[in-house]
Chains A and B, each alone.
Chain A
Amino acid sequence: MVNYRKVSACALAATMVLGMGTMMTACTNKSGKAEVISASDTWYNTTRIVLKDSYDPADYELIQHDQPMVCGDKYVVLYAGLKKMPAGAFTDPNFDYNSYLVSDLVEFDKDGNEIRTLHLNDMIVKSADYVAQVTSVVPSEKGVGIYYINQKTKALTLDVENSYAEIDLETGELVGEPQLLELGKQAYVAKVVNAEGYDCLEVSDENFQIVFYKDGKQVSKTDFDKDIGKDKVGYIDSMYGNGAGKLLVQAYSDGDTITLEVDPQSGKAQQIETDADILKKHYTYFEGNEYCLTSDGIKKLNASGEEEDFIMFDDCNINRNESNGGNILAATENGAVLACTGFQSDNYFEQAPTVIYTFEKADSNPNEGKKVLKVANLNTTFSYNEAEGLRVFNETNKDCFAKVVTYDVDDYKDSKTKGNSENDSIEEGKGKAQLANALAVELMSGDGPDVILGAADYAELFNEDYLVDLTTYIGGDNGLDTSKYFTNIIDASKEDGKLFYMPNAFVFSGIVCDKTTIPSGAVGFTLDQYKTFVSDTCNGEDPYTLDSTRLEFFEECLSNCHEAMIKDGKANFDQQEFRDLANFFKDSIPEHVDNGDEDLVYGMPEDGKNAYVATIGSLPALAMYSRFGANTTVVGLPSSDGKGPSVYISDSVSISAKSENKDGAWEFVKTMSSDEVLQYADANPLNKEALDAKLKEAEKFNTDYYNLITEASDTPISDEELPMYGLYNPDSGLPESYKASIESVSSITTCDNEIMSIVIEEIQPFFEGQKDLDSVIEIINNRAQTVLDERK
């Protein structure tokens, strides 16, 4: 028996030692070699064409283009609108409206040049007593199928006649006789979508319904009252094929969004539950295959119904903001055609152009030998300038090619509370904290991305273990000329003197009010000034808690100053600034009360408000609150020192501290911060000249639109009424005020999500009067310090 024990013990010990040894040898040494593109890597040559039309917005009341198609070797786009009407047109009973309505089919060649315009109104109008309007166009056998209405001009009813006709693009003539559609007298075809081999007409009659046509014949129509419930289906938001022969419809029902699955053959509909990922996928059918456009590229369904990669955007070079929301016009074995929307400037009279991308599979990858630069996007989608910067970098840089890795904060949220709006802001914070943790681990290990877009929102990463201090690069030999930037924004972005991200575009937030109601020269409110402002100017109604809770307001104000409370890895909330802020919120800020004014649109004179809390990303955004005329100003949220408006960095770019290609990453940062790219910033660009150009575009739109409506109006329009149109008085000097607000910015809205969630949790009992501030501060310090200690 003793022998048994000894033998067993020896065997066990030997197994453990052997096992340990085996495990240890499994530790390997990483080669440390960056990925390099080879000639055999998949590549699609991409051609980008902007369709250049000859419509001058000045000649039209309204002109818009929509529904591009590819027909043979041409691109065809529907243009609809209204020409500039002469004075008195609306009161003239004999006025020929039809000649002013625009329903044009414009054909473009492969280079985007306009080659022919077919004036459809002349072809489809029934007679001189009618006006005709094209509602939708679809590809057809001979060219283009058009759905249109004819309405009697002098009739006092809303009766219309819905018809379908086909245009032969060879001849430019109608094919045969138009076909009258079997729809109600007041039915209106709002939209036509070609899906699963059917023309799906969204028809607005007494209720919404969908009518299915195939080869010009009506196949079926839905009866939502019968299938879903009486008056259950309200407005139809979108519809698209699901890749399996059914139409997926998103509709509104009693204030909620519901998803319906409709069988085009029978018209039968049923409500289904689907998750957000499936709803994002819109399938288009070409030559026996289903394709869908995702943020990563075009995917195809294989024979088993599973998605496989088809044309991925890392295998070509396009602007990913343009492709987002695009439509696949054609797809073959070796390529595809995508219709997208180009850059929309702040001059809204000029609609964003249609951009066509053609993809063609190449025999070899022209980027052979370039090092791959991994770019992480923490914002899920790209802003236009970020997408353009990525495209320009890949086009011009000879040493590196950027490939994208997306981090979606939704993947890190608690799935049980997703979409629950009551917990949204708390869960968003927790999701971001989780994402930051996951990214931090990857960055530390050296497996993370080389470049990170959107890191400005993640204060947890502001550490030299994770991100490079860019101040050394900016001032270096290959640096940046910061004189053309808003240096106050750059300075505000620094953490303990270190710049962990380049702030390329930003929005600023604060309180929009009349500057005569605030202390002269103030750029923000001290706590006492704000109390006085709320009681005197706002009649006791706090502008922030109209829409938000006191806690959210507190969180925002604290985000503007919390960096003073967390320094050098130490949490110290026992500071006068924090105490003053907490006491102020407890004593002076009321809790949000839902007064049922959800429909009230703020910014209008009738809202009775004298101040608004707003986040401003463009001049038109400020114009919405500009009823104070020349006195409109934006000042900071309350703080102990009366800081100016705070800035939220919408576009930022950072370099990983463990990147093996920091030089390439820095070139990427420079491209993102260049004039060429920043001119396309959706929000306020860091570059002063780019901002001036943006303001000029916005001013031009404002002036033109202002002149238009004042000419059309019989009575003068006051400054107070202009925000209703999204306008401001051109003589008010609002652009200068706008720039002044930016120049007064000295703080950034950012926060450590984990610590902020602790502060918010602990401050609530203090606001409710259950605990004193000293004990709350002690607990916050205690818990926050644990968080910071863990990270060391």
Chain B
Amino acid sequence: MSEKQQQRGEVLLKRSELNKQKKRLHRRRKILDWGVFTGYLLPSLLGVFLFFFMPLLMLLKTSFQKSSTNTDFVGFTNYTRVITNGAFKDASINTLTFALIAVPLAIVLALLIALLLNSGMPGKSIFRSILLNPMMVPVASIVLIWQVFFSYNGVINGWLGNLFGLDKIDWLKSSYAQIVILIMFIWKNLGYNMVLFLAALNNIPTEVIESAKMDGAGPVKRFFAIKMHYLSSTIFFVGIMSLINSFKIFREVYLLTGDYPFDTLYMLQHYMNNAFRHLDYSRLSSGAIIMCIVMIIIVGFLFFAEAKFGGDIEE
């Protein structure tokens, strides 16, 4: 072998040793990173596991048991019992209907108000504060106010009678009941959604809007082609939050109308709350798991929609 070849061999050998050293160092750094990363996450993971996953698993177990006092495995009997139960079906329809109406309405109204406030109108901060106030009002106070307004002998019926000569409407025990609750939901959540949209609108790069203006795009085109894309992740987030809040409206409904309200107000949580009161934990667990599955489907759909319409923004 010539000297040149030998030298070349030595260089190659050195290079491979250097590479091996580099890989070793790289692996060590990775492990260190893993350790740090896991160490920071561990407390939260533990908490999530103990207070979220464990109860969920116990819920799943109870849903396959005969009863709270009898741990016999009964397969899907409880699920069948729940799905075929008339009260559960009514509750599901009411809850879904409410969510399907309330959530889009909450998003659209909040977006419109955010657009209005973002358009440079005077007194923006005052309006923002006013719209945020309902969030701070305690639930019991809200219920009291709504009772004063919407009870059979309440203010609204008084106005209808005195000003328009109309008959009284039993707002909470008639087909108008969901409208009352819808108004309460919108009133309570509008401010928060609006603030989220305002923040998102402020984050849209102005150069893109301006260049679109220069290219001759009108305001509608600019909104749908540019702003909506940038707002998609916020719309997704607001949608999920509104969906969750639409379920939380049970609190107010329960305080207003009790365990067994008029049928249009009878929600899934009423069904489960009554099952809890009756100590029928198997039925409660099965209902909760079914509701969980439906929520996963809905949120999954929202994820898909967000990815489809807003994915290009993130990239």
Contacts and interface: CB of A to CB of B under 8 A. Distances in A.
Interface of A: 4, 15-16, 19-20, 23-24, 26-30, 434, 437-438, 440-442, 444-447, 754, 758, 765, 770-771, 775, 779, 782-783, 785-787, 789-790, 792
Contacts of A20: 57, 60
A447 B65 CA distance: 14
Contacts of A4: 34, 37
Interface stretch (B106-114, B134-142, B231-239, B260-268): B260-268
Interface residues of B, number: 40
A495 to B, nearest CB: 21
B277 A434 contact: yes
B80 interface: no
10 smallest beta-carbon distances between A and B, as pairs: A445-B67, A789-B87, A437-B278, A27-B73, A23-B61, A789-B86, A445-B70, A790-B87, A447-B69, A441-B279
B153 interface: yes
B227 interface: no
Contacts of B225: none
Contacts of A27: 61, 64-65, 71-73
Contacts, number: 98
Residue among B54, B67, B90 facing the most chain A CB atoms (10 A cut-off): B67
B71 A30 contact: yes
A743 to B, nearest CB: 40
Given A444-B67, A789-B85, A28 B72 contact: yes
26 contacts: A16-B57, A23-B60, A24-B61, A27-B65, A28-B72, A438-B279, A440-B278, A441-B69, A441-B278, A445-B69, A446-B66, A447-B67, A447-B70, A765-B152, A770-B152, A775-B174, A779-B170, A779-B173, A779-B262, A782-B262, A783-B261, A786-B266, A789-B86, A789-B87, A789-B90, A792-B85
Given A29-B73, A445-B68, A786-B260, A19 B278 contact: no
A695 to B, nearest CB: 44
Contacts of A437: 277-279
Interface in B70-98: 70-73, 85-87, 90
Contacts of B69: 441-442, 445, 447
Nearest to B30: A3
Contacts of B87: 786, 789-790, 792
Contacts of B54: 19
Main secondary structure of the interface of A (DSSP, over half): helix
B258 to A, nearest CB: 8
Contacts of A790: 85, 87, 271, 274-275
B280 interface: yes
A441 B278 CA distance: 7
A23 B58 CA distance: 7
Residue among A29, A754, A758, A779 facing the most chain B CB atoms (10 A cut-off): A779
A786 B73 contact: no
Contacts of A440: 278
Given A26-B61, A27-B71, A28-B71, 12 more contacts: A4-B37, A23-B57, A24-B73, A30-B71, A438-B278, A442-B69, A446-B70, A770-B152, A779-B173, A783-B260, A789-B87, A792-B85
A786 B37 contact: no
A393 B58 CA distance: 43
Nearest to A569: B86
A437 B57 CA distance: 26
Nearest to B37: A4
Contacts of B68: 441, 445
Contacts of A779: 170, 173, 262
A441 B280 contact: yes
Interface of B: 34, 37, 49, 53-54, 57-58, 60-61, 64-73, 85-87, 90, 152-153, 170, 173-174, 260-263, 266, 271, 274-275, 277-280
A15 B49 CA distance: 10
A26 B64 CA distance: 11
A775 B85 CA distance: 26
Residue among B34, B57, B72 facing the most chain A CB atoms (10 A cut-off): B57
Contacts of A786: 87, 90, 260, 263, 266
A785 B260 CA distance: 10
Contacts of A447: 67, 69-70
B242 to A, nearest CB: 27
A786 B71 CA distance: 29
Contacts of B66: 445-446
A441 B263 CA distance: 25
Contacts of A446: 66, 70
A446 B70 CA distance: 8
A441 B64 contact: no
A758 B260 contact: yes
B304 to A, nearest CB: 18
Contacts of A785: 263
B53 A771 contact: no
A438 B54 CA distance: 26
A441 B61 CA distance: 18
Contacts of B37: 4
A26 B170 contact: no
A754 B271 CA distance: 15
Nearest to A787: B260
A783 B279 contact: no
Contact of A16 (B53, B64, B277): B53
Contacts of A789: 85-87, 90
Contacts of B261: 783
A782 B60 CA distance: 32
Contacts of B152: 765, 770-771
Contacts of A758: 260
A253 B207 CA distance: 84
Contacts of B260: 754, 758, 783, 786-787
A782 B85 contact: no
Given A441-B280, A775-B170, A779-B262, A30 B61 contact: no
Nearest to B275: A790
Nearest to B271: A790
A213 B252 CA distance: 63
A357 B280 CA distance: 43
A444 B274 CA distance: 17
A19 B64 contact: no
Contacts of A23: 57-58, 60-61
A750 B204 CA distance: 69
Contacts of B173: 775, 779, 782
A447 B71 CA distance: 11
Contacts of A782: 173, 262-263
A792 B90 CA distance: 14
A629 B56 CA distance: 72
Nearest to B264: A782
A440 B67 CA distance: 11
A407 to B, nearest CB: 13
Contacts of B64: 24, 27
A770 B58 CA distance: 49
